[in-house]
Amino acid sequence: MKTPQLFGTNGIRGVPNQDLTLDLATGIGRAIGTFFNSEKIAIAKDTRISGDMFMFAVSSGVMSTGADITYIGELPTPGLQYYCKVNKIPGIMITASHNPPQYNGIKAIDSDGTEIDEDKEVKIEEIYINKRYSTAEWDKIGNYNYDNTGIDLYINSIISSIDSEAISKSNIRVAIDTGNGASYYTSPEILTRLNCHPVSLNANPDGKFSSRNSEPKPENLSDLISIMKTGKFNIGVAHDGDADRCVFIDEKGNFIDGDRSLALIVKNTVKRGDTVVTPVSSSDALSEICTEKGAKLILTRVGAPIVARAMIDNKATLGGEENGGIIYGTHQYCRDGAMTMALMLNLLAREKKPLSELLKGIPEYYMVKTSVPRNIEWEEMKELLTKKFTENMFDFTDGVKIYDKEGWTLIRPSGTEKIVRVFSESKKEAVARECNKKYVTFLKEL
């Protein structure tokens, strides 16, 4: 199978007017319109400054093939995906997710609401590269329309997927940081309708992400963490730029790693005989929990579309990644930050215990995440790694996963940035840090 060259782990991304040009955007729009050959294609965007420019460029390309474009607003990527699923039409999301504000990107959504798989990405790229576009006659060119029902459709779908009555009666107090991104309206509105008395930070659209970096990492959430340390809230919630991810702060102000929140939701959701899907980057805590619950765990390559496809193939209802991206198949097969938030509220309402108490039931592992610039070809880097550390066991499911005596380290090229990610995990924090430092030092020397 060919590997897509333009589409990374989650779509095409780049810096506007540099590597992500208007010509590319229009051409990709023409290629997507040609590939889907659909009467109608939905489109949405996050809050980035270049969003309008790329949305109209891509839309023009699509309309030139004869398809109508339906713009459904500024909303989270999973909001567009749900709209596509319900209306059985393809979609295009203009977003660079967690990347810094100078980036933007293009994601293609299938008519079942999932991100398109790699085979379809390759076919779209081939249409684009070979300029094999469908071109409509002048009187068959597509129209541009607006549908304002998509936002409420998405909000209502989240609320109807959980025990909204139990949550409403639980008096859960929530502080939420939407980071000026696509969830600035949807997530606070969901919390309000669930009677969660939300206090919102950065809940205004700002394409420069002036208040904080788009990626919801601890160093970017200092304001939310400070608020949580006041003891006035039960849980803190934060999203990335397109709100397909969600991370949590407990009632004491402690940041909860995405792998621990995933493990907690899995522990309290799956039953014996269920299947859970996650990438090789996820914590071994998930393996322990699945064994304890009698559930099957399937490990895949990194990437939400890959996890989602494996979930569909194996009829799994729950999956996700260590970065706060949880996929609840009962709702839809894609990462969904608002759905993740709702599942956690459901858990708090049912168990009637603080988040910090619930997390005590999760096996304790320590994961260290770093990255280094990718200055040489990945294949060369992989070869040098395997030659250097010959005494170790390797797993090549995605990148290189190297097993040491008391833990493992995953080294893989990012699909969205020109970096190599290095994740190290162990039951012992010192071992995780030592392993991470060892491999990062080696990679930097290259």
Same fold, 153-361 and 366-445: no
CATH T-level fold of 366-445? TATA-Binding Protein (3.30.310)
Catalytic residue among 38, 60, 97, 282: 97
The residue-averaged pLDDT of 135-159 equals 97
Q: CB of 363 within 8 A of CB of 353?
A: no
Is the confidence at residue 4, as pLDDT, over 80? no
The residue-averaged pLDDT of 354-379 equals 93
CB burial readout 229-254, b (16+ within 10 A) else e: eeeebbbbbbbbbbbbbbbbbbbebb
Q: CB of 186 within 8 A of CB of 82?
A: no
Q: CB of 299 within 8 A of CB of 280?
A: yes
- What pLDDT score was predicted for residue 303? 86
Q: CB of 82 within 8 A of CB of 329?
A: no
- What pLDDT score was predicted for residue 376? 86
Q: Tell me whether residue 97 is one of the annotated catalytic residues.
A: yes
The residue-averaged pLDDT of 268-289 equals 94
Report which of 81, 15, 83, 5 is spatially closest to residue 54, judged by C-alpha positions: 15
Q: How much of the chain, in percent, has pLDDT values that exceed 70? A: 99
Sign of CA dihedral 341, 343, 344, 345: positive
| Domain ranges for the chain | 12-148, 153-361, 366-445
DSSP assignments along 277-330, one per residue = EEETTS-HHHHHHHHHHT-EEEEE-SSHHHHHHHHHHTT-SEEE-TTS-EEETT
Positions of E strands within 62-173: 68-74, 91-94, 104-109, 144-146
Q: CB of 420 within 8 A of CB of 371?
A: yes
By three-state DSSP, how is residue 350 classified?
A: helix
Q: CB of 304 within 8 A of CB of 327?
A: yes
**186 or 378: which carries more pLDDT confidence?**
186
pLDDT band at 1 (very low <50, low <70, confident <90, very high): low
Averaged pLDDT of the chain = 95
pLDDT band at 8 (very low <50, low <70, confident <90, very high): confident
Is the confidence at residue 10, as pLDDT, over 80? no
**6 or 190: which carries more pLDDT confidence?**
190
Q: How much of the chain, in percent, has pLDDT values that exceed 90? A: 90
Q: CB of 171 within 8 A of CB of 65?
A: no
Q: How far apart are CA 53 and CA 81, in angstroms?
A: 21
Q: How far, CA to CA in Å, does 63 sit from each of 7, 60, 97?
A: 22, 5, 25
The residue-averaged pLDDT of 29-45 equals 98
Beta strands 40-45 and 68-74 are parallel
By three-state DSSP, how is residue 196 classified?
A: coil
pLDDT band at 7 (very low <50, low <70, confident <90, very high): confident
**41 or 302: which carries more pLDDT confidence?**
41
Q: What are phi and psi of 367, to 5 degrees?
A: -120, 130
Architecture of the 12-148 domain: 3-Layer(aba) Sandwich (3.40)
Q: How far apart are CA 301 and CA 308, in angstroms?
A: 11
- What pLDDT score was predicted for residue 5? 81
> How far out from the chain centre does Cα 35 lie?
25
Q: How far apart are CA 243 and CA 248, in angstroms?
A: 13
Angle at 377 between CA 372 and CA 378, to 5 degrees: 70
Architecture of the 153-361 domain: 3-Layer(aba) Sandwich (3.40)
